[in-house]
Amino acid sequence: MIFLLLPFFFFFLSLLIIILERSDFTMSLTISETNAKFALDFFRLLSRAHQYENLLCSPINLITSLGLLLYGTKSDTAAEIEKILHLDELAESELLEYLEETQSSDPSGNKVSHSDSDKARVPSGSKERKEASPHSSPSDNKQTPWCPPCEQVPDYVCDKPEGVHSVMNKILTELNQPSTDYELSIANRLFADESIFFFQKFLYCALKLYLIEVDRVDIHNAPKDIRKLINLWVEMRTYGKIKNLLHEDSFNNEAAMLLVNGLYFKGQWEVQFDKELTKEAPFYFNEVKSKNVQMMCRKGQYNIGKLKGSEVQILEIPYKNKTLSLFIMLPKDSKIESLQQLEDELTHVKLLNLASTLKPEEVRVVIPKLSIEKRIEANTYFLAHLTDPKKADMSGATSTEGAVLTHLFHDAFLEIDEEGGQEPEEPQPAKGRHLSRRQPVDFVANRPFIYYVMHNNTQSLLALGQFTIPE
């Protein structure tokens, strides 16, 4: 009798797995899954708004700015951001597990517990202070005035050790580790009009948790000068890569807060492409039209496979030391419908688990040499509460009434070229013996594809985009 029921059991089990993969239903998510889920949500919003265009965003960098906004908001505004980031689906046990796995070390190599590192260290002879605003009064919870730079700044407890902000800080700390394997420049800053006063704790914790400084500037009286100042700061922060982020009409003198969110990335491959093999070749952006682009070529061992249940090829190209990888998802043809179908089939689970489905093969890789930059006013896609003066609750950051986020400017810049490590020497066959080799698998990205750069240790999406037409 049991044997007769087994086929039905496996059938319903397979059906359940398919339903879970294709739906948003989940009991609880990890921080990596919530981040990936947000990344796909935002990517789909961009895709619908800019059909058949080249797309690029930096999900983890956007999450950084949204995390800061979450820290400074309360009530419905905070709930809106939590929902956007899927933090309402997050399992607290997963946060604790992540913190244990990414336990940090001090410069001498000794382990530092998160509970110790997040304890408030009160300066000798002083008492712990609470956050305060210049507008505070004796009735405002007896808050002390915002201290000038000459005073010692207390080390606030910004978040509980297992809190989401602490977890995000661990991810950002790892992403910002110095490396010669890639160029990563991040330009995140909150610019607010000087009429807005912030709690000292918010200023401190914005920098400690999210590595973001808050600047009070004279937007109301000098918007043009402030725009030039922001553009200059972003250009310097990205070493000249991101220029003129804000155009002349990007904001006016009624703006209250401007959150700038920029990222530039260029990695060194584990094994470089030979520049002499880079040639012009057609890129087919639909079934009948093409345009010549610089195509890089290399034959070597790569992890490759197909998306489950489809003919979409998946290729992983590792950067030096395999800290990061570029993944390319290539539909079988150049039809726009094929790219759309791939986008519809993607889930956060598939995105995070693709690497585990690939196998090492000898591959002939042909991919375009790219330099892509995309600028987006991200708040136009979400954050309805935060940009509405009647709904916004920024009381976690400021006591100034009517303080709202006016703009969230996002810029992502990605370069892909031949540079990387040296070709490893091939083992020489023993004398009198010949090594039989299979024909390499062809991976020729000469048609629209979706791609992303994954930071493997934290499973963070540094970049996510699609390349549809040479510009």
Does the model's pTM come out above 0.75?
A: yes
Contact 269, 417 (CB under 8 A): no
* pLDDT at residue 116 is higher than 80: no
- pLDDT tens digits, 21-69: 444 444 467 899 999 999 999 999 999 999 889 999 999 999 999 999 9
- pLDDT tens digits, 317-365: 999 999 999 999 999 999 989 999 999 999 999 999 999 999 999 999 9
Residue with more model confidence, 4 or 438: 438
Euclidean distance between CA atoms 448 and 428, whole angstroms: 39
Confidence grade of residue 422 (pLDDT, cut at 50, 70, 90):
confident
What phi and psi values does residue 388 have, to the nearest 5 degrees? -105, 115
Euclidean distance between CA atoms 140 and 133, whole angstroms: 9
CATH superfamily to which 275-370+438-467 belongs: Alpha-1-antitrypsin, domain 1 (2.30.39.10)
Tell me what percent of the residues of the chain surpass a pLDDT of 70: 77
- The class that CATH gives domain 59-101+117-267+373-415 is alpha beta
The token pair at 465 is 């985009």
Confidence grade of residue 425 (pLDDT, cut at 50, 70, 90):
low
Task: Look at residue 99 in the predicted model and tell me its pLDDT.
Answer: 52
The token pair at 324 is 């990061």
Euclidean distance between CA atoms 52 and 36, whole angstroms: 22
Euclidean distance between CA atoms 409 and 430, whole angstroms: 60
- The closest alpha carbon to 377, from 245, 225, 206, belongs to 245
Give the chain's mean pLDDT.
84
Euclidean distance between CA atoms 455 and 37, whole angstroms: 16
Euclidean distance between CA atoms 148 and 228, whole angstroms: 27
Contact 137, 127 (CB under 8 A): no
CA distances from 150 to 325, 392, 450 (A): 45, 33, 51
Confidence grade of residue 12 (pLDDT, cut at 50, 70, 90):
low
Average pLDDT over residues 197-222: 96
Contact 216, 192 (CB under 8 A): yes
Task: Look at residue 112 in the predicted model and tell me its pLDDT.
Answer: 38
Contact 348, 37 (CB under 8 A): yes
Task: Look at residue 427 in the predicted model and tell me its pLDDT.
Answer: 53
Q: Where in the chain is the domain with CATH 2.30.39.10?
A: 275-370+438-467
Contacts of 431 (CB under 8 A, 6+ apart): none
Q: Where in the chain is the domain with CATH 3.30.497.10?
A: 59-101+117-267+373-415
Read out DSSP for 144-196?
Answer: PPPPPTTSPPP----S-TTSHHHHHHHHHHHHTS--SSEEEEEEEEEEEETT-
Task: Look at residue 340 in the predicted model and tell me its pLDDT.
Answer: 93
Euclidean distance between CA atoms 79 and 420, whole angstroms: 44
Give the lowest-confidence range in 60-69, 137-146, 405-414.
Answer: 137-146
- The size of the chain, in residues, is 471
* pLDDT at residue 242 is higher than 60: yes
Average pLDDT over residues 430-459: 84
Task: Look at residue 232 in the predicted model and tell me its pLDDT.
Answer: 98
* Beta-bridge partner residues of 193: 217
The token pair at 461 is 């999406």
Contact 460, 409 (CB under 8 A): no
Give the dihedral sign, CA 408/414/420/426.
positive
Contacts of 284 (CB under 8 A, 6+ apart): 290, 334, 446, 447
10 Å CB burial of residue 432 (0-12, 13-18, 19+) is: exposed
The token pair at 237 is 């922060």
Residue with tokens 């990007």: 250
Task: Look at residue 384 in the predicted model and tell me its pLDDT.
Answer: 82
Tell me what percent of the residues of the chain surpass a pLDDT of 90: 70
* pLDDT at residue 376 is higher than 80: yes
Going by the DSSP 8-state scheme, the letter that residue 440 receives in this structure is P
Task: Look at residue 128 in the predicted model and tell me its pLDDT.
Answer: 35
Contacts of 221 (CB under 8 A, 6+ apart): 253
